[in-house]
């Protein structure tokens, strides 16, 4: 009795796919590897491509497959190479690289149909691995294409070798088309989790760039060449003018004479500064789509008047996220570009006047001259504007006394050079000052009606305390290169690339230089549309989290939906879709077989002449009876019945044979005469 209850694993009869199916698998492998080729080392791409090329020669030119000893040697070499490159077999980069090598090795050792199927499923995993690095629209589109190619390879492997390749493609598209409603239902109703499904600890943010909480002259040099998007802003109403687009991120008050940073003493000294100020004019409402940085600090239009639910307010009107920004976040804000801060404690005043070293003789003489004037701030700005200072992204190195060397030596630099020098000069004149870092400006995207701020727009400016007015923003960069503030960093870089000197150009000259060539303008416009599409993808697809799912369920009538209710709704929806699909397939009329239809028409013509085919009569028996009864019809009937047997029972699927059969039946007459003298196609 036990043999009747013994569980056996069902194994379908093995067969070797034809070379077209094997080549389809190789094509899908190349497509899946192409998703990762730009982030993998060259040796890995060449190695995997070599394995696939070897397999191609095996399938198409009868090369010998590698033996077991060689395969084990390749596996050990792959493990050693990955460890030597990444120092580990774990993590995002190392794991995907190892998976790519294993895919190549598995395809190289294929021996049975089961190995083909295992290789296909490994390719699905490799395709999903692309989302560990990026969830952008282009990644999703490319992954979808790879998934279609891989599914086509899987379907082709599952079909008999006699099926044409076009039938496999048609069946693949039909399967994926019917799966779209179920995919959308799962996306909308499957319980969402907070955070990204694709994040990995450890190496997931190793390559992120952004603002640092320490600024030294030259620290923005890396950001000036980084064109990555920092954040995007959608304004509820009209956007502020360019000179008010200061995006506040960090306030640095501690300095050692060269570097400016935040320290424990900094926070203790200013922790009594409350978020109290008086806004002048109407507030600006907007939303920020902030890219992942791996840091805590956020950005807000200067000066923020609210704190998002996911952020914490810090002195200096600084916003910090409650946890590291390890994925793109979205938050609403309200700010007052025109404002008045009128509170500074004695401890904070003393802290913002500290200078780590006495001023040099030349600096002291300069600030004494400014003190004797009406306003040291205006005097300093005039000095920067009238003296031989230049804005450049490639400044020379500074000596130990960086302030003296910059003011009386190099006189070349960009925003942090001028901001740090100005802040220290103000402290020497007895005016409290601090450094603010963030972003300035941005590029307006007309295609999506929002502002794009990139890492190249990173900026540093100064705030000085004026009794009766509070902290006042002063940007000394504007005194040297007003184009940086009015036109933005992108336009300024274009001017510098053409050899222009900021601050010395007429408006007409600037406009002529920035217009550029027609092709460059069209390319820029195309980039705006692409960025708008990516933004829509991020906002409506990637940002679909628990909060948005809850709002969707509430709109469907669930006030406080539980997991059980959501799961029940999901199963009911999938069941309804499957029932609709089943009903569609069952009621769908099959397309008539052209071969059978032609044969029935042929038999009908003979039946009208008295030679009706019997129900039990096969094609050859019918032909023998026709030959005996009407010998003059035998030649035509032999060709027609021969084509029918070849197409119906011989496994031949050539369309030209089908057309020939249809032509011969159409021109066949029981009298034995053709209606047309032309030869069949």
> Following DSSP, what letter does each residue of 64-87 receive, concatenated?
PPPPHHHHHHHHHHHHHHHHHHHS
Report how many helices (DSSP H) and strands (DSSP E) the chain contains, helices first.
25, 19
DSSP 301: E
Residue ranges covered by each domain of the chain: 19-189, 214-519, 594-666
- 373-420 residue pLDDT tens: 888 999 999 999 889 898 887 788 777 788 888 899 888 888 888 999
| Distance from chain centroid for Cα 673 | 68
How many other β-carbons are positioned within 10 Å of the β-carbon of residue 678?
Answer: 8
Mean pLDDT of 75-80: 89
- Read off the pLDDT of residues 199-246 as tens digits, 9 standing for 90 and up: 444 444 444 456 778 887 766 655 556 778 899 999 998 889 888 899
pLDDT, position 490: 67
Tell me the pTM.
Answer: 0.67
What would the pLDDT profile of 6-31 be if each residue is shown by its tens digit?
A: 444 445 455 567 777 888 888 988 99
pLDDT tier, 285 (very low <50, low <70, confident <90, very high otherwise)? very high
Q: Is the peptide bond before 641 cis (omega within 30 degrees of 0)?
A: no
Residue 106: φ, ψ to 5°: -65, -45
What is the arithmetic mean of pLDDT over 35-39? 87
Calculate helix-pair angle for 113-128, 19-34, nearest 10 degrees.
Answer: 20
pLDDT exceeds cutoff 60 at 71 = yes
Residue 676 scores a pLDDT above 50: no
Alpha helices (H) in 35-136, listed in sequence order:
42-61, 68-86, 92-108, 113-128
The per-residue pLDDT for range 518-575, each reduced to its tens digit, is 566 677 778 888 888 888 887 777 777 777 777 777 777 777 777 777 778 788 888 8
Rounded CA gap, 292 and 209, in Å? 9
Query: Which residues participate in catalysis according to the annotation?
Result: 415, 459, 475
Is 303 a residue whose pLDDT tops 50? yes
Three-state DSSP at 360 gives coil
Confidence of residue 467 (pLDDT cuts 50, 70, 90): confident
Q: Residues 314-337: what's their mean pLDDT?
A: 87
Would you state the pLDDT for residue 511?
Answer: 57
Report which of residues 361 and 591 the model is more confident about: 361
- Identify the pLDDT of residue 234: 93
- Residue 494 is inside which H or E element, if any? helix 489-497
């Amino acid at each position: 009795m036990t043999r009747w209850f013994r569980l056996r694993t069902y194994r379908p009869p093995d067969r070797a796919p034809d070379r077209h199916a094997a080549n389809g698998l190789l094509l899908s492998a190349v497509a899946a590897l192409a998703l990762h080729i730009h982030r993998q080392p060259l040796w890995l791409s060449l190695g995997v491509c070599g394995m696939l090329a070897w397999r191609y020669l095996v399938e198409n030119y009868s090369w010998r497959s590698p033996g077991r000893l060689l395969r084990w040697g390749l596996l050990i070499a792959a493990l050693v190479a990955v460890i030597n490159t990444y120092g580990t077999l774990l993590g995002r980069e190392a794991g995907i690289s190892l998976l790519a090598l294993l895919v190549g090795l598995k395809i190289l050792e294929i021996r049975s149909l089961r190995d083909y199927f295992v290789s296909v499923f490994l390719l699905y995993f490799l395709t999903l691995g692309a989302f560990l690095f990026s969830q952008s629209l282009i990644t999703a589109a490319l992954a979808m294409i790879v998934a279609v190619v891989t599914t086509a390879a899987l379907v082709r492997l599952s079909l008999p070798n006699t099926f044409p390749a076009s039938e496999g493609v048609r069946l693949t598209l039909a399967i994926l088309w019917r799966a779209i409603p179920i995919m959308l239902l799962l996306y909308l109703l499957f319980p969402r989790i907070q955070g990204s499904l694709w994040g990995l600890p450890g190496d997931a943010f190793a390559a992120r760039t952004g603002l640092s909480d320490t600024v030294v002259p030259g620290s923005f040099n890396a950001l000036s060449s980084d064109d990555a998007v920092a954040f995007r802003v959608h304004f509820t109403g009209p956007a502020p003018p360019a000179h008010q687009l200061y995006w506040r991120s960090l306030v640095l008050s501690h300095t050692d004479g060269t570097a400016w940073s935040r320290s424990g003493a900094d926070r203790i000294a200013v922790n009594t500064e409350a978020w109290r100020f008086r806004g002048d004019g109407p507030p600006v409402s907007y939303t920020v789509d902030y890219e992942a940085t791996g840091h805590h600090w956020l950005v807000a239009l200067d000066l923020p008047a609210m704190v998002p639910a996911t952020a914490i307010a810090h002195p200096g009107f600084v916003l910090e996220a409650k946890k590291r920004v390890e994925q793109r976040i979205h938050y609403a804000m309200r700010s007052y570009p025109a404002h008045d801060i009128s509170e500074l404690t004695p401890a904070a005043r003393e802290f913002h006047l500290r200078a780590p070293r006495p001023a040099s003789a030349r600096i002291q003489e300069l600030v004494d001259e400014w003190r004797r004037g009406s306003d040291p701030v205006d005097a300093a700005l005039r000095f920067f504007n009238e003296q031989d200072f230049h804005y450049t992204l490639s400044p020379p190195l500074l000596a130990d006394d960086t302030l003296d060397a910059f003011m009386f030596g190099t006189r070349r630099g960009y925003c942090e050079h001028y901001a740090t020098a100005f802040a220290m000069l103000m402290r020497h004149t007895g005016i409290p000052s601090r450094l603010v870092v963030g972003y300035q400006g941005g590029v307006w995207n007309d295609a999506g009606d929002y502002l794009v701020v990139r890492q190249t727009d990173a900026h540093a400016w100064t705030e000085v305390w004026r009794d009766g007015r509070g902290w006042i923003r002063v940007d000394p960069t504007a005194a040297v290169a007003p184009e940086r503030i009015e036109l933005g960093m992108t336009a300024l870089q274009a001017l510098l690339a053409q050899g222009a000197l900021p601050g010395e150009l007429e408006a007409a000259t600037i406009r002529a230089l920035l217009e550029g060539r027609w092709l460059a303008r069209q390319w820029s416009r195309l980039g705006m549309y692409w960025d708008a599409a990516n933004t829509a993808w991020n906002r409506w697809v990637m940002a679909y989290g628990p909060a948005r799912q809850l709002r969707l369920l509430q709109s469907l009538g669930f006030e406080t939906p539980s997991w059980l209710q959501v799961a029940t709704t999901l199963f009911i929806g999938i069941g309804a879709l499957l029932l609709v699909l089943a009903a569609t397939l069952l009621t769908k009329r099959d397309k008539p077989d052209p071969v059978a239809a032609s044969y029935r028409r042929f038999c009908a013509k003979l039946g009208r002449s008295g030679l009706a085919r019997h129900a039990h009569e096969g094609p050859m028996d019918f032909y023998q009876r026709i030959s005996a009864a009407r010998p003059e019809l035998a030649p035509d009937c032999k060709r027609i019945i021969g084509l029918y047997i070849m197409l119906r029972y011989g496994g031949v699927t050539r369309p030209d044979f089908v057309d020939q059969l249809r032509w011969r039946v159409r021109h066949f007459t029981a009298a034995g005469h053709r209606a047309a003298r032309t030869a069949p196609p």
